[in-house]
Chains A and B, each alone.
Chain A
């Protein structure tokens, strides 16, 4: 909300500077976001009156003005002017010789000197609003009111030594959505006296009443209105009102609209003015009906239903209750007779309604937070008095129906509870004084306050609401920052669980950079890269490439590679640790679960370019499956298995499913060549994605004695078909191995000359050691033979000659 400081000070004027006042409001919870001067500094500009205006003898577009500046000069001044609206009879701002105007485009203040323009002397300058820095209007001279006093300093006349406050109000401060409401706060904060609310007296001279029937007490709690006849809608809005509206960021429209807006800003009271001659019959206040439509003041037509409150006449719906009036009964410059209305709309009946139609209004904003019902007649009188004063006319009687207004229940606050919550012993006397300044009538007992909130407060229902008021007005700055005293309890992490940060550090140590990618991705990624036709969709995505929830972290990492490759990187290694989102009907609501959706944490990485950064000591090659597999083996728990399996994202011959104890844990593989083009890559990255939970498990080590017996090594080379995985061979050897076989490990694989077509030779090292005794030769040879027989039987392996 924006308004001028002088308007605020007209109600409550503490002896604080503008900046101090802004600070005081901010520290009481009314955040002053901006303090802006009404106009930049300038001097020497007064109200002038153009007495005569003739064409410049030597220039088509210039005119020669004779300007009366009253006592500011001995005689009228001759001033050359280029403005199209310069003409005799108007009053305008006139900069005298010696004046300094606000900086123009060059950034330098502009000093006015006597000059000759095209051979004619000019002693001053006539100004537009932009030249004075008041607005961006540069269409012509700023035309002042005809009543403006000639010779008066323009800063005084236009109240330009004023400032504007822009206040950011939190949703609970419904009572501060008006200048008077803010003044009430200033009074509470500073103790400076508060003027009574502006009022008006209306003499009833007509008997006309527009009949109104309120049919929905859950929508409308009070409804009041008056008929005014013979108003002049063309009457000009007075300068003082226009000035305050403009400083509040409201453009002047017409007197009737301006007055209604003014009362809303001044008192926080939204009102509506109907063109009485366009209302058919009587009014009724009710919920809308499906099928009804309404063309609004802003030209939009909305479809109504039973959730939306309306004001209708005998013919149609004429207004969206508490939000916006209708087009057909709107006032115009030709309006003669009006019906003015002010009502109490229940906040719950207004909340969310404007949002359904995708707009918001100042009235709706106020009503959904709560507007005082008690002051309706007084505020309507203020409005009518202003209309009669400015537009003339005669008033009918006030028709005021109270149907169903809220009950203000007394709220009890215990002094001890307030002190416990705030943490400092604010005294009961201080509390009483705070309530008094806030206008909260209260009863005091030995240990409690019983407060009955005023009808303009919609934020006081429970004890904490009052505690907050005490803390706020006492001042948060006056509450000490206290290091808490707490029982000391040790809080140790489990040794068998690795934290996410430890996991991240381990991946980073393997030369991967952590990235954070959006959790919502392009639907095409899910469909084309991951074969997922049914990802979870956002109902309101901000962009189509962020429309569905990801089920894999890998596409985001591929996009990272693409981004860096396009910025000349030749090697990219990135990882991410984050959640993915899978439809899963087996998930039920739980302590950490939402039914229907699995949200596991995943760790994914992608490596592209060389296995190490290009350098003098290492040959150039592309990173491959086994480089990344080694990185993973350093992360994975012991016993992780890599098995041949296909994944839509991965090269079918270069991908592996990773599992542990038969439970799938993730994937490792080279990106399928068909996806390279989508990421503008020519070489395939190697990618992996793992479930995080199993990676966090880290068994507490159990010590076994180190054997003192000699270690025996036997190397065997097995010839098998290409397709036999090496791990199948070692597993087979293991199966037949006696307990003293410590390790069976592949150390070489050979394909080529000397071997039959389609065969490979796998060299395996067998390490044997007993814990108790030295192994005899026949035990060793026997064990080897049994293992060889077994692997031959299972995989047709032969010993290489």
Chain B
């Protein structure tokens, strides 16, 4: 290339670089590559040259034109990137601001426990039962081997309502979840005898007792468990409930002890205590459940033959499990509906 064209290329490159936006770049382009532009002028100037010179000169001019076009494209791309960057910068937001719209609500901690208990027992094939909260005397007491005037009735102070059952006895608010096990077992007794399918059920729900102080609420929740088959023993009860507590508290070094007690509906009966090996409650035996082998009279009231069918039942307080699980110290918090409390379980 003759040096004469190098300044032209340099001038074009400089002009392009000086353009700050697309329109001015197009104007600059016209100055070199347009109909009246410098390159066009050079081509026009070739008319006077000999064919030999034309060939050489033409090649030189084409090279210069390519160089100028390359410079133009480079500048165009650069301007496009700049423009995009400017737009992106202008569109930037404060990503640390909160999101718009609703937040998540939450499930009540006692219900959270209820659900976890259901899931743990479902994993070994337990069904879930429900039943009425205003109950007949027979289901709440008599069917459970606790006839009228029995001293064991004073163990549970009962709320009565202003209606009588069809047996003439006043209806009551169930004092425990046990009536649900009676109802469920009666509904399934035929299936047990005809198909050999065991009764394996838990029955969580609200329960009521005339009791109100710092550690008792007149309404609370229990979960009842029942497993009846031909050979379900007290040792099985120990196995199942111990395993349950370890799964519920997600701790294998939890200690569990069974201590003789009395309930009209089980025999032998056991109070279940547990002890944490670490944490704030470490080393203290905590009462967690009542349990035992279902009393033969109760099995008979299920509609089953107690000679053939045996098994265990247990009843645990859901509030108690919840308090121990999450370190809640005051029972009343569960029933106040205080969002500052409930939001901790969202």
Seen from chain A, the residues whose Cβ lies within 8 Å of a Cβ on chain B are 26-29, 31, 170-173, 348, 351-352, 355, 368-369, 420-424, 462-465, 467-468, 471-472, 476-477, 479-484, 486, 488-489, 491, 501, 504-505, 507-520, 536-543, 546, 549, 556-557, 559-560, 563-564, 567, 569, 572-575, 578-579, 581, 583, 589, 591-597, 599, 611-613, 615-618
CB proximity of B125 to chain A, nearest CB, Å: 5
Whether A517 pairs with B238 at a CB distance below 8 angstroms is: no
Whether A589 pairs with B233 at a CB distance below 8 angstroms is: no
Question: CB of B177 within 8 A of chain A?
Answer: no
Whether A515 pairs with B342 at a CB distance below 8 angstroms is: yes
A51 to B105, CA, bound (A): 80
Whether A572 pairs with B162 at a CB distance below 8 angstroms is: no
Binary A-proximity of B84-119 (CB < 8 A = 1, otherwise 0): 000000000000011011111111101100010010
Among the interface residues A369, A468, A537, A569, which one has the most CB atoms of the partner chain B within 10 A? A468
Whether B100 pairs with A423 at a CB distance below 8 angstroms is: no
The segment from B15-23, B51-59, B275-283, B333-341 found at the interface with A is B333-341
A480 to B206, CA, bound (A): 33
Q: Contacts A464-B295, A581-B134, A594-B134 given: A515-B108 contact, CB under 8 Å?
A: yes
Whether A563 pairs with B186 at a CB distance below 8 angstroms is: no
Whether B130 pairs with A592 at a CB distance below 8 angstroms is: yes
Question: CB of B325 within 8 A of chain A?
Answer: no
Whether B260 pairs with A27 at a CB distance below 8 angstroms is: yes
Q: Contacts A351-B149, A501-B118 given: A615-B100 contact, CB under 8 Å?
A: yes
Whether B160 pairs with A540 at a CB distance below 8 angstroms is: yes
Contacts of B97 in A (CB 8 A): 616-617
CB proximity of A542 to chain B, nearest CB, Å: 5
What residue in chain B is nearest A479 (Cβ atoms)?
B235
What residue in chain B is nearest A470 (Cβ atoms)?
B268
Can you list 17 A-B pairs with a CB-CB distance of less than 8 A? A463-B296, A464-B267, A476-B258, A479-B235, A480-B235, A482-B235, A484-B236, A484-B240, A501-B115, A513-B106, A519-B173, A538-B162, A538-B173, A543-B212, A560-B337, A569-B339, A597-B134
Question: CB of B26 within 8 A of chain A?
Answer: no
Whether A468 pairs with B268 at a CB distance below 8 angstroms is: yes
The segment from B2-10, B35-43, B64-72, B164-172 found at the interface with A is B164-172
CB proximity of A357 to chain B, nearest CB, Å: 14
Whether A420 pairs with B134 at a CB distance below 8 angstroms is: no
CB proximity of B131 to chain A, nearest CB, Å: 6
> Of the candidates B102, B208, B296, B339, which one forms a contact with A462 in the assembled complex, judged by CB atoms under 8 Å apart?
B296
A569 to B98, CA, bound (A): 19
A-B contact count (CB 8 A): 265
Starting from the known contacts A514-B342, A520-B159, 10 additional A-B residue pairs (CB-CB under 8 Å) come to A421-B310, A476-B268, A479-B234, A480-B235, A480-B238, A482-B238, A486-B124, A508-B346, A514-B106, A539-B162
Interface residues of B in 200-247 (CB under 8 A from A): 200, 206, 208, 210, 212, 218-219, 227, 229, 231-236, 238-240, 242-243
Whether A479 pairs with B238 at a CB distance below 8 angstroms is: yes
Chain A binding site: helix, strand, loop or mixed by DSSP? Answer: loop
Whether B235 pairs with A616 at a CB distance below 8 angstroms is: no
Question: CB of B284 within 8 A of chain A?
Answer: no
Binary A-proximity of B117-146 (CB < 8 A = 1, otherwise 0): 010001011110011111110000000000
Whether A516 pairs with B235 at a CB distance below 8 angstroms is: no
Whether A468 pairs with B267 at a CB distance below 8 angstroms is: yes
Binary A-proximity of B295-317 (CB < 8 A = 1, otherwise 0): 11000000000000010000000
Whether B260 pairs with A28 at a CB distance below 8 angstroms is: yes
Q: Contacts A486-B125, A538-B161 given: A472-B268 contact, CB under 8 Å?
A: yes
Q: Contacts A516-B334, A616-B97 given: A29-B259 contact, CB under 8 Å?
A: yes
Contacts of B295 in A (CB 8 A): 464
Q: Contacts A351-B149, A501-B118, A510-B105 given: A516-B160 contact, CB under 8 Å?
A: no
CB proximity of B105 to chain A, nearest CB, Å: 4
Whether A536 pairs with B239 at a CB distance below 8 angstroms is: no
Whether A539 pairs with B161 at a CB distance below 8 angstroms is: yes
What residue in chain A is nearest B334 (Cβ atoms)?
A516
What residue in chain B is nearest A601 (Cβ atoms)?
B130
Question: CB of B150 within 8 A of chain A?
Answer: yes
Q: Contacts A467-B267, A581-B134 given: A613-B334 contact, CB under 8 Å?
A: no
What residue in chain B is nearest A514 (Cβ atoms)?
B108
Contacts of A617 in B (CB 8 A): 97-98, 100
Q: Contacts A483-B240, A486-B229, A578-B206 given: A511-B104 contact, CB under 8 Å?
A: yes
Q: Contacts A173-B262, A616-B97 given: A597-B163 contact, CB under 8 Å?
A: yes
A364 to B107, CA, bound (A): 48
Whether B212 pairs with A591 at a CB distance below 8 angstroms is: no
Whether B101 pairs with A508 at a CB distance below 8 angstroms is: no
Contacts of A536 in B (CB 8 A): 134, 161-163
Question: CB of B293 within 8 A of chain A?
Answer: yes
CB proximity of A34 to chain B, nearest CB, Å: 14
Question: CB of B152 within 8 A of chain A?
Answer: yes
Q: Contacts A422-B233, A482-B236, A617-B100 given: A508-B151 contact, CB under 8 Å?
A: no
Whether A421 pairs with B234 at a CB distance below 8 angstroms is: yes
Question: CB of B24 within 8 A of chain A?
Answer: no
A615 to B100, CA, bound (A): 8
Contacts of B270 in A (CB 8 A): 476
A538 to B161, CA, bound (A): 4
CB proximity of A489 to chain B, nearest CB, Å: 6
CB proximity of B191 to chain A, nearest CB, Å: 12
Contacts of B171 in A (CB 8 A): 594, 597
Contacts of A171 in B (CB 8 A): 150-152, 154-155, 262
A563 to B210, CA, bound (A): 25
Q: Contacts A508-B106, A508-B107 given: A596-B160 contact, CB under 8 Å?
A: no
What residue in chain B is nearest A508 (Cβ atoms)?
B105
Whether A422 pairs with B100 at a CB distance below 8 angstroms is: no
Whether B101 pairs with A537 at a CB distance below 8 angstroms is: no
Question: CB of B181 within 8 A of chain A?
Answer: no
Whether A563 pairs with B115 at a CB distance below 8 angstroms is: no
Whether B110 pairs with A516 at a CB distance below 8 angstroms is: yes
10 closest Cβ pairs, A-B complex: A423-B233, A423-B235, A29-B260, A170-B262, A560-B337, A481-B238, A511-B102, A508-B105, A468-B268, A515-B337
CB proximity of A628 to chain B, nearest CB, Å: 12
A172 to B269, CA, bound (A): 11
CB proximity of B180 to chain A, nearest CB, Å: 9
